[in-house]
Amino acid sequence: MTARWFPRRGPACRPILGWLLLGLVAGGLLPVRAAAQRFGRGVNGEEALSAPPSPPYDGRFTYARIRFTQSCCVQGGQYWDVKWGHDYPKSDRHFPRILQELTTMRVRTEVSAILTLDDPELFKFPFVYLCEPGFWLPNEKEAAGLRSYLLKGGFLLVDDFAGAHMFNFEAQLRKVLPEARLIPMAPEHPIFDSFYRIPSLEFYHPNYGVRAEFYGIFEDNDPKKRLMAIVNYNFDVSEYWEWSDEGLFPIDLSNEAYKLGVNYVIYSMSR
């Protein structure tokens, strides 16, 4: 996986996200109601297991989320709450549109990819999203797939979990990288200045109100080396993305959530 550099824009070239979001909504670029299928609560197992096929690779940045076997919410062989699909499809549409508007990247905005960790196609996606890791149960092949992906240059965003769910995430992470440590992140790390300067990590979970904590997984557990994954604990950045067109959260909070996401992607594509 080859890292690519996307030139960083100067302050005069960085639009104010609040106005940009309002413009995208007003112009119809962020649909108020998504017609695509949602894989969250209320979707049965048959529908969840027949997720739409990932789009063919065409060189554009494509937002990708990880599909996994989960430890709960299965009744009669069916998922009644598909944990890996939370915030889909709206967050998967909204965030790429922001990337397209703000950066020089070529971005696929009409569809995202859904992949398992043992899928050979995973290596075509330099940035992948894993949500609800409190219920994540990778098998040996999936753990090996993620290990290879990270060590070869891939970047993982772990999001949407809180409280005791950290215990399961840490246990499953040991299957992937037995020696890995979760290292607390500080605003001085380059990821928080890769496009927007984010001077403070004082963020709060959109639903629970607890203060977010950010952890990094680094090559050789060395914070001076490449950051392979960023972990949003007690936080749910894609919840802000999902509802940014409906005013569920104050627009300044959605702005900051988008800034985090843009920085994550730009860092991953330039290291």
Confidence of residue 36 (pLDDT cuts 50, 70, 90): very low
The full DSSP string for 36-78 is SPP-SBT--HHHHHTPPPPPPP-SSB--EEE---BSS-EETTE
The enclosing H or E element of 128 equals strand 127-131
Residue range 75-111, pLDDT digits in tens: 777 777 899 999 999 999 999 999 999 999 999 999 9
pTM score: 0.85
| Cα gap 97→112, rounded to integer Å | 11
Mean residue pLDDT of the chain comes to: 86
| Cα gap 233→163, rounded to integer Å | 8
Q: Could you tell me where the DSSP H helices lie in the chain?
A: 17-26, 45-49, 90-102, 140-151, 165-176, 237-242, 251-269
Query: Tokens standing for 171?
Result: 């246990």
User: What is the pLDDT at residue 99?
Assistant: 97
Q: Can you tell me which residue has the tokens 């905005």?
A: 109
Q: What is the arithmetic mean of pLDDT over 232-256?
A: 96
